[in-house]
Structure formats: C-alpha cells, structure tokens
Amino acid sequence: GLIRYTTENALEGRPSLILRPRVIVYGSLLVAIGAALVISVLLRVPLDIDVVRDRNALYRVAGDGAIENAYTLKIMNKADAARSFRVTLEEELEEEGEDEASVTLAGGAPLEVTVQAGEVLAVPVTLRAPAGHIHGRADVEFIVEAVDEPGVHYEAESRFFGPSS
C-alpha cells in the first residue's frame, strides 16, 4: 500500500474535494477556448483579398489626359465550391463640395470573376480618374462580394496616386 492513486485527505479519513479552485479555473478556460474556436469557425468569411499596387510607376497618363493606376487583386475563395464575385470601387470623398466619385474602374462597369474552390485568382485592375480630378492621392476601397450570396463580401483599402499639382 505504499504506492496509491489517492489524496492525502483520503489517507487521513477526511473527505476529498474534487472541485478545487484550480480544476474550476482550468475547466472554465477550456470551455472558453472551445467556445472561441466554434464561434470563429461559424463566423469565418469564405473570402479574402489582397491589393497589390503596380510597382513600376506611381501613375500613368492615358492618351486622353486621364490618370491611371494599375493594381493586382488577389481573390482567395475559401469556400468548397466555385463562386462568382463582383468587384466594385468606392472612393472616400474628402472635399466638402465633392458629390461624385472621380476614380472609377477602367471600363466603367463592375468587374465579375469566377474563382474555383480553394483557388487564389490574380485579377489585373486599372483605376482611372479624369484629368485634373485627383491631386496627390485619394483613398479608394475595393469591394468584392459574392454574386450568388450578398452577405459574403470583403473590403480592402488602397491609395490612388496622381500628379501633385
């Protein structure tokens, strides 16, 4: 009887406490970590994007005088099925009197792409601003949303650069 799996209280005939403070703290931490894992899996957005600016030129001037910036959108479809996405643009208007966005997607219409399940698709995108509308830089936001499920969307900020004067 020298080696036993018991407590000192049980050897002395006193009742043993199974729910000690340490057991309660460790148990509650384990439950909290499990709940956080379940919540993160349930709230996971099956879409991610990265915006990469063209490193060759800060901006370029088109034949009609418009200013263009080139980007590459890397769209990651984390879903189990192929999905179509719509890429739109939103410019953050900083001037008080400005009521219309001056930076648009080249081609005018929203861009639609299909990304296979688990794939990362690189999409070249050109933004365009009429001559004289952008001085310095403007904040823009790319919005990518699933065509078949409007709740699945992702927003990424970037900068549009133009001539400083």
The span from the CA of 32 to the CA of 90, in Å, is: 39
| Separation between Cα atoms, residue 75 and residue 128, nearest integer Å | 21
Q: With pLDDT > 90 as the criterion, what percentage of the chain qualifies?
A: 39
Q: How many Cα atoms within 13 Å fall on the side-chain side of residue 2? A: 0
Find the mean pLDDT for residues 10-20: 84
What is the mean predicted confidence (pLDDT) over 39-62? 89
pLDDT value at residue 25: 96
Question: What is the pLDDT at residue 99?
Answer: 43
Nearest CA among 127, 143, 129 for reference residue 87: 143
Q: For residue 36, name the pLDDT band (cuts at 50, 70, 90).
A: very high
Query: What pLDDT digit, counting tens, does each position of 95-115 carry?
Result: 444 445 588 888 777 889 999
What's the rounded mean pLDDT across residues 43-68?
88
- Residue 1: per-residue pLDDT: 66
111-162 per-position pLDDT tens digit: 899 999 999 999 999 999 888 888 888 899 999 999 988 778 889 999 998 8
Task: Tell me, letter by letter, the H, E, C secondary structure of the chain.
Answer: CCCCCCCHHHHCCCCCCCCCHHHHHHHHHHHHHHHHHHHHHHCCCCEEEEEEECCCCCCEECCCCCEEEEEEEEEEECCCCCEEEEEEEEECCCCCCCCCCCCEECCCCCEEEEECCCCEEEEEEEEEECCCCCCCEEEEEEEEEECCCCCCEEEEEEEEECCCC
- Long-range contact set of residues 94-97: C-beta below 8 Å, sequence gap at least 24: 94/138, 94/139
